[in-house]
Structure 1
Amino acid sequence: MEASRESHGTPGYPRSVRSPRGEARRAELLAAVAGDLKVNGLADFSLRRAARAAGTTHKVLLYHFDGAEDLLGQAIASLREGRIANAMSAAAAHDTLSERVRAIWPVLMEDATGLRVIDQAIGLAMYDPQRYAHLANDASALYRGPLISLCPSEWSEQRREEVAELILATMRGFLMEWQTSRSAVRIDPALSALVRALEREETADA
């Protein structure tokens, strides 16, 4: 990956932040780069590769983004946001936390290419935390709020946060198992155990 060699371009996005046209162009570029990542992964990512995918030049990307690492982080975030939106849409059809979590899992698992990119980002954060820890930390921040919102509103803030962290950590383990084995043999019973635990949590105060 070549992001480190091209990550110090002149910050450009603030120059276009007030322009609707600039905002639209930036969103268009980001979508194109995210699409390239989804297909080709993170290996050999660079501004020049991103520019080819977006049909532009690396100088144009530097006008809208603060460098390769900024562009990479925002493209990965956009992929995550799409997965979260789909998962929350599936959860909205259910009334209880346990049912919502069960509904989320197939949505998170079905997008294999997007999941591959996101897992590569987590691996990069583990390999070089000094530079890329934000790729993992940003993921936690993106997921935490939606998961908290799935919890019963009458619960205390602390309780909702604790349960959301439990769901997040467990789902991450499931996704890692799915990526490495492509088998649900161990995941299915573990998911059922998580659902039962959440059912008990929901009825604890009844």
Structure 2
Amino acid sequence: MEAVPMDTSADHGASKQAGYRRSTGTPRGEARRRELLERVTDDLAVNGLVDFSLRRAARAAGTTHKVLLYHFDGADDLLKQAVHALREKRVDQARTAATDGATRRTLAEWVRAVWPDLVGREALVLEQAIGLAMYDPERYAELGRGASSQYLPVLLSVCPERWSEQRKLEVAEMVLAALRGFLVDARTSADTGGIAAGFEALARALEREEAAGT
């Protein structure tokens, strides 16, 4: 995880300063907004958050920064929506991984199934978003909080049904924290052996937790 240098000072609050008319949520306007967001999201997935700006987003979307300001509240709003969209794709994959065909996976099996996607190169931008939230929490705290809020429901759904809601929450939060720690190591160190050993220890701990009584 890294602090991501971004120069959005000229973009921050630009929509208010320029007084551009915002999209009113008409079907046509909403379709255009989704199209622009998808193009910016694709750019982030490939190029990451480093040096993200409204003008870079406009180039990726094939439009002008004024058009983006018609549909979004500046660079920060666009960035947050794009990161949310990227996470939703990851969450969909995590949700799909909750079953193995017609069989519901155990929590330990699920963790093993989703790890390759979480640590893949294409997911780097999401760890950069967490780094940005740490670097400037006053401005980007939502990027950090959003990660847990998006993944938590999937984790809760994979926990054994016999568990109490409190136990599900405790274990789900623990898994999120542990995976986040492993991701930090994966992005910032070359200790692949240590990460693999720690990850297997987590999976075995979950197996014991699931095998224990209520």
Matches within 5 A, 1:24-39: 24-39=31-46
Residues in 2 aligned to 1:13 and 1:80: alpha-carbon distance in whole angstroms: 29
Q: Tell me if the contact between 1:7 and 1:68 (Cα under 8 Å) persists in the aligned partners.
A: yes
Could you tell me which runs of 5 or more consecutive residues in structure 2 were left unpaired when the two chains were aligned: 1-5
Q: Tell me if the contact between 1:124 and 1:132 (Cα under 8 Å) persists in the aligned partners.
A: yes
- How far off is 1:15 after superposition? 3.5
Letter in 2 for 1:193: A
Q: Secondary structure at the match of 2:193?
A: coil
Q: CA RMSD in A?
A: 2.0
Q: Secondary structure at the match of 1:103?
A: helix
One of 7, 11, 26 as aligned partner of 1:6: 11
Tell me which of the two structures has the higher relative contact order, counting C-alpha pairs closer than 8 angstroms and 6 or more residues apart: 2
Name the TM-score, length of structure 2 as normaliser.
Answer: 0.87
Runs of 4 or more, structure 1, over 6 Å off, are 11-14
**2:125 is the alignment partner of 1:117:** yes
Q: Tell me if the contact between 2:40 and 2:82 (Cα under 8 Å) persists in the aligned partners.
A: yes
Residues in 2 aligned to 1:202 and 1:194: alpha-carbon distance in whole angstroms: 12
Matches within 5 A, 1:1-206: 1-8=6-13, 9-10=15-16, 15-17=23-25, 19-93=26-100, 94-110=104-120, 112=121, 114-205=122-213
Q: Secondary structure at the match of 1:4?
A: coil
Residues in 2 aligned to 1:130 and 1:7: alpha-carbon distance in whole angstroms: 14
Q: Secondary structure at the match of 1:42?
A: coil
Residues in 1 aligned to 2:110 and 2:51: alpha-carbon distance in whole angstroms: 38
Residues in 2 aligned to 1:13 and 1:117: alpha-carbon distance in whole angstroms: 31
- How far off is 1:107 after superposition? 1.9
Aligned residue pairs total 203
Residues in 1 aligned to 2:116 and 2:59: alpha-carbon distance in whole angstroms: 33
Residues in 2 aligned to 1:124 and 1:55: alpha-carbon distance in whole angstroms: 26
What do residues 148-190 of structure 1 show as CA deviations (whole Å, max 9, x unaligned)? 1111122111111111101101111111111123553112221
Residues in 1 aligned to 2:131 and 2:80: alpha-carbon distance in whole angstroms: 14
Name the TM-score, length of structure 1 as normaliser.
Answer: 0.90
Could you tell me which runs of 5 or more consecutive residues in structure 1 were left unpaired when the two chains were aligned: none
Q: Answer with 192-201 or 178-187: which moved more.
A: 178-187
Residues in 2 aligned to 1:176 and 1:65: alpha-carbon distance in whole angstroms: 31
What do residues 66-99 of structure 1 show as CA deviations (whole Å, max 9, x unaligned)? 1110000111111111112122222321431111
Residues in 1 aligned to 2:85 and 2:208: alpha-carbon distance in whole angstroms: 34
Letter in 2 for 1:126: M
- How far off is 1:13 after superposition? 9.6
Q: Residue 58 and residue 188 in structure 1: after superposition, are their counterparts in 2 closer, same or farther (change >3 A)?
A: same
